[in-house]
Amino acid sequence: MPNSLCRTFANTLGGTADVVNGVCTVTRIRSNLRPLIQGRRTNSVLAIAALFSFEDLDNQGNALNLGETVLLQEEVNPFISQLRTRGIEVTALHNRWLFDNPRLMYIHFKSVEPPLAFAQKVAAAFRVLTTRTVSPNRTSGSTGSNGSRGLQGTSGYTPPLSDQTYGYTMSPNASCKTRKPSTKGKTNSSIKAKSTVKSTATKTGKPSQRTSTKRTKRSRSI
């Protein structure tokens, strides 16, 4: 059962208090986010929740305060700035899911101070996050028959058009473009010669034996 400090901590952060493994833990759901993961709607706390906790309260009233929350990509920099301005240390930023729509990011942060001071700072930082309903972007990719979005629809990947070896160049928007192997530094005659040898071997299914035959006749005559 959460004590009064834990309940006040939760109320300040706009979440629900619980005691997990002996630690005051608060869950706040960003219910305005309505993402898809692999083409399926998710309301999981693993996808759209913010979590906070405090523990190890000392005689001065300081505790270890931990937090994490889901963010949209465009919210990342403003939210980090708000935390750092208030002296809260940002420790990690990452994504969790493949084929999520919109793209979801997750940030972790901490401080050692009175829990209510931490809660007030984080609550203030949360004011820069959108409260509007955010739905999937319809143009971000196609959904396959099994609910997953194909590679071509999500990452800009273009498959090779033949069995040749192709190179891939990455652009900042994660699109891939194919390019044929470079022939830079090779003359037209050398390229033509290689093509002739290759076509001869392909037609017969075996390498040409003209050279070896001539050498054998010359040896016999000697």
Q: 171-192: per-residue pLDDT in tens?
A: 444 444 445 555 555 555 554 5
23 and 102 within one domain:
yes
When mean pLDDT is compared across 74-83, 166-175, 178-187, the lowest value belongs to: 166-175
Q: Is residue 48 part of a domain?
A: yes
Could you tell me the CATH number of the domain that includes residue 87?
A: 3.30.1460
176 and 117 within one domain:
no
Closest of 153, 90, 157 to residue 121, by C-alpha: 90
pTM of the model: 0.65
150-153-157 Cα angle (round to 5): 90
pLDDT the model gives residue 186? 52
154 and 118 within one domain:
no
pLDDT band at 138 (very low <50, low <70, confident <90, very high): confident
74 and 41 within one domain:
yes
Q: Is residue 201 part of a domain?
A: no
Structure tokens at 125: 């930082």
At residue 182, the 3 state secondary structure works out as coil
88 and 14 within one domain:
yes
CA–CA gap between residue 134 and residue 127 (Å, rounded): 16
Q: Is residue 187 part of a domain?
A: no
Range of the domain at 57: 4-128
Structure tokens at 135: 């739905």
C-alpha distances (whole Å) from 47 to each of 62, 102, 130, 165 are 30, 11, 16, 39
Closest of 57, 51, 56, 66 to residue 14, by C-alpha: 51
Rg (CA), the chain: 31
Q: Is residue 202 part of a domain?
A: no
How many domains does the chain fold into?
A: 2
DSSP string for residues in 103-147: -EEEEEEEEEE-HHHHHHHHHHHGGGS--S-B---TTS----TTS
Asked whether the predicted pLDDT for residue 122 surpasses 90, the reply is yes
157 and 95 within one domain:
no
Q: Is residue 209 part of a domain?
A: no
